[in-house]
């Protein structure tokens, strides 16, 4: 049998970062003209692999072959010359540039050396958009486009530069259902034109719809590669996770009792109209829904991060007004936000200061901090949550995602919360730390602290929650509890729109 010619192959790639081996003896062969999905949990090494192919990182060991030939990809310029293009999860663009300028950046048509031929630039851009069937005006500014629009423009730009291998890093993470359809059509069209697509995701339904081949990656190691048809969701999940689902989600024995929080007819401009829900003591309540569905925004109202216009919030039967974060904190409604780097930790300050920040009044008199007391309470809670760091003075930015999350949790737990809201608490955290976070959540719940968890990861919702609200288009559209919390049920209402 003749050896099959692969478009791109990685052989025995190893890449280590301080404290973690991101890729370990990783090999993969990708055939030409297919959609090859790379699937794995957060922190499994997917993005590192992509960045090595794109030349952002260099492997410590191993080699890359394109069309069977050894290549040295020393930086993204080299990879672009080799016909590799990457569509990043967080798109890079200049907001004030026009679509045409963006499409031809660094290769603008010139009249004389250094002088841009603007007329030709806009003409060429219009032609390109036409052949790609994109309905944009070349003179539109990038900042006026949606994430999905920019993705499509990025793809067109890559194709116009002769890209043969297109890498997409979780492109559907923040676009709407309609836009996903549009993107998938484009991807299929590209594949049929002979382009090889490497598609990174951890969403199973997308993989089954789109991919011809699937590679599962876990803890930096290659686990399995097969045609998509040979997988089903159960085999993929167990390959991804490497253990049984019961082992990831620790069990807990609580009986939700009386209603602690009751939200009725909450209304805020651009956030929601008439949202109602409740939370019971001892409950872990899930808020499921696609990114952009409004979950975070709705709960931000409850935690005072944004203000609501009308509606009532009842805490333990007593109506309260939440007008700011500090008023929410005073009532005991605490929220650990999703974007830890932006809204959670203060990277340049120490673990201790991060923990004590909203709790300084406990260790102060007349505005003067008792530093010894502060150290003591911070150390105790950090120890309880098993924060791993050289010392309390370690800067928060140097911690891993899991430990940063623990610091944020520690900050709020010092206050004995009435209600704890966790927005994507395990995002960007490795499997082991995830398990620890889940255990902490269970402990708290058993202590009677009710928890609301917003999550995009259905397995997490299913594994942890007693009850789930599904949010779509800024509204709570369905509620499931107990054994009704299933992937099928949630997916059905999520994608089905407004049916009950």
Partner 1 sequence: MKTIFGKRDIKLNTGSIINKYGIYFILVLLLVLCSALSGNFFTVKNLLNISRQISVTTMIALCEMVLLICGGINLSAGAQLCLSGIISIYAYLATESVMLAVVVAILVGSFLGVINGVITCYLGVPAFITTLATNMIFRGVINVWTGGQTIWGIGGYSILGQGYIGIVPIPMIIMIIVVALIGFITKNTILGRRLLAIGGNQNAASASGVNVKMNTFIAFIISGALAGLAGAVHLSRLSMGIPTAGEGYEMDAIAGAVIGGTSMTGGVGSALGVLIGSLIIGVINNILNLTNVTSYVQDIIKGLIIVVAVLLDIQTKRNFK
List 95, 113, 317, 390, residue binding partner 1 (CB under 8 A): 390
Yes or no: say if 173 and 291 are a contact pair by the CB < 8 Å rule: yes
- Alpha-carbon torsion 91, 96, 99, 102, what sign? negative
Out of 76, 109, 358, 463, point to the residue binding partner 1 (CB under 8 A): 358
> Among candidates 488, 428, 420, which has minimal Cα distance to 453?
420
Query: One symbol per residue from 411 to 430: x for binding partner 1 (CB under 8 A), - otherwise; what is it?
Result: x-------------------
- Of the residues 389, 454, 461, 462, which one makes contact with partner 1 according to CB under 8 A: 389
Q: Does 367 bind partner 1 (CB under 8 A)?
A: yes
Q: How far apart are CA 275 and CA 265, in angstroms?
A: 5
Regarding 62 and contact with partner 1 (CB under 8 A), the answer is no
Residue among 55 and 344 whose Cβ is closer to partner 1: 344
Closest to 400 (Cα-Cα) out of 40, 15, 43: 43
Nearer CB in complex with partner 1: 163/454: 454
DSSP state of 2: P
x/- mask, partner 1, residues 278-307, rule CB under 8 A, reads: ---------------------------x--
Shortest Å, Cβ 334 to partner 1: 9
Kindly report the backbone phi and psi dihedral angles of residue 170, in degrees, each rounded to the nearest multiple of 5, phi listed first: 40, 60
Q: What minimum distance in Å lies between the beta carbon of 371 and partner 1?
A: 7
Q: Which residue has the tokens 């036409």?
A: 130
Stretch that binds partner 1, among 182-190, 244-252, 286-294, 349-357 (CB under 8 A): 349-357
**Nearer to partner 1 (CB atom), residue 153 or residue 303:** 303
The answer to whether 329 contacts partner 1 (rule: CB under 8 A) is: yes
Residue span binding partner 1 (CB under 8 A) among the ranges 6-14, 35-43, 184-192, 319-327: 319-327
Task: Assess contact for 411 and 421: CB atoms under 8 A.
Answer: no
Candidates 276, 369, 416, 484; binder of partner 1 (CB under 8 A) is 369
- The correct pick among 81, 107, 139, 383 for binding partner 1 (CB under 8 A) is 383
> Is residue 283 left, alpha or beta, with left meaning phi > 0 and alpha meaning psi from -120 to 50?
beta
Tokens 């993470």 — which residue? 173
Identify the helix (H) or strand (E) that includes residue 477: strand 475-481
**Residue 21 phi, psi (nearest 5):** -95, 110
- Judged by CB, which is closer to partner 1: 349, or 427? 349
* Secondary structure (3-state) at 232: coil
Extract the tokens encoding 139.
């003179």
Is residue 323 part of the contact set for partner 1 (CB under 8 A)? Answer: no
Give the shortest CB-52-to-partner 1 separation in angstroms: 22
Torsion of CA 234, 238, 239, 240, to 10 degrees: 100
Segment contacting partner 1 by CB under 8 A, of 94-102, 368-376, 440-448, 488-496: 368-376
The CA dihedral of 329, 378, 423, 42, to the nearest 10 degrees, is 170
* CA-angle at 396, arms to 393 and 398, nearest 5°: 100
Residue 131 interacts with partner 1 (CB under 8 A): yes or no: no
Residues in touch with partner 1 (CB under 8 A): 19, 305, 324-326, 328-329, 335, 337, 342-349, 351, 353, 356-358, 360-361, 364, 367-369, 371, 379, 382-383, 386-392, 395, 397-398, 411
């Amino acid at each position: 049998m003749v050896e099959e010619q692969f478009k791109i192959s990685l052989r025995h790639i190893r890449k280590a970062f301080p404290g973690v081996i991101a890729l370990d003896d990783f090999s993969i062969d990708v055939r030409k003209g297919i959609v090859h999905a790379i699937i794995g949990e957060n922190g499994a090494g997917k993005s590192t692999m992509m960045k090595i192919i794109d030349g952002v990182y260099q492997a410590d060991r191993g080699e890359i072959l394109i069309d069977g030939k050894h290549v040295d990809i020393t930086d993204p310029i080299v990879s672009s010359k080799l016909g590799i293009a990457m569509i990043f999860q967080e798109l890079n663009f200049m907001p004030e540039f026009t679509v045409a300028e963006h499409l031809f950046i660094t290769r603008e048509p010139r009249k004389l050396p250094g002088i841009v031929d603007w007329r030709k630039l806009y003409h060429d851009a219009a032609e390109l958009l036409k052949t790609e069937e994109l309905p944009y005006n070349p003179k539109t500014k990038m900042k006026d486009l949606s994430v999905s629009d920019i993705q499509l423009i990025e793809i067109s730009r890559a194709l116009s530069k002769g890209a043969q291998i297109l890498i997409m890093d979780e492109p559907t993470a923040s676009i709407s259902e309609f836009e996903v359809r549009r993107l998938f059509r484009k991807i299929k069209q590209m594949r049929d034109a002979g382009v090889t697509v490497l598609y990174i995701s951890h969403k199973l339904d997308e993989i089954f719809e789109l991919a011809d081949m699937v590679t599962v990656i876990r803890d930096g190691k290659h686990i399995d590669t097969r045609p998509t048809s040979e997988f089903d969701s159960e085999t993929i999940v167990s390959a991804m996770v490497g253990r049984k689902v019961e082992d990831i989600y620790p069990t807990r024995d609580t009986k939700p009792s009386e209603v602690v929080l009751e939200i009725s007819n909450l209304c805020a401009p651009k956030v929601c109209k008439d949202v109602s829900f409740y939370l019971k003591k001892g409950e872990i309540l899930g808020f499921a829904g696609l990114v952009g569905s409004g979950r975070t925004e709705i709960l931000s109202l409850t935690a005072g991060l944004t203000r609501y216009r009308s509606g009532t919030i009842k805490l333990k039967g007593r109506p309260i007004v939440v007008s700011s974060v500090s008023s929410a904190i005073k009532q005991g409604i605490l929220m650990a936000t999703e974007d830890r780097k932006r809204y959670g930790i203060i990277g340049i300050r120490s673990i201790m200061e991060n923990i004590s920040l909203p709790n300084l009044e406990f260790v102060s008199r007349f505005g003067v901090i008792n530093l010894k007391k502060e150290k003591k309470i911070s150390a105790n809670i950090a120890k309880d949550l098993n924060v791993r760091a050289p010392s309390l003075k370690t800067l928060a930015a140097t911690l891993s995602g899991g430990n940063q999350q623990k610091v944020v949790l520690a900050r709020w737990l010092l206050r004995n919360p009435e209600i704890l809201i966790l927005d994507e608490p395990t995002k960007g955290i490795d499997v082991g730390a995830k398990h620890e976070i889940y255990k902490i959540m269970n402990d708290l719940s058993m202590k009677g602290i009710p928890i609301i968890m917003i999550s995009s990861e259905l397995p997490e919702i299913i594994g942890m929650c007693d009850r789930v609200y599904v949010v779509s288009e800024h509204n709570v559209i369905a509620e499931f509890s107990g054994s009704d919390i299933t992937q099928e049920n949630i997916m059905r209402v999520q994608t089905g729109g407004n049916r009950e």
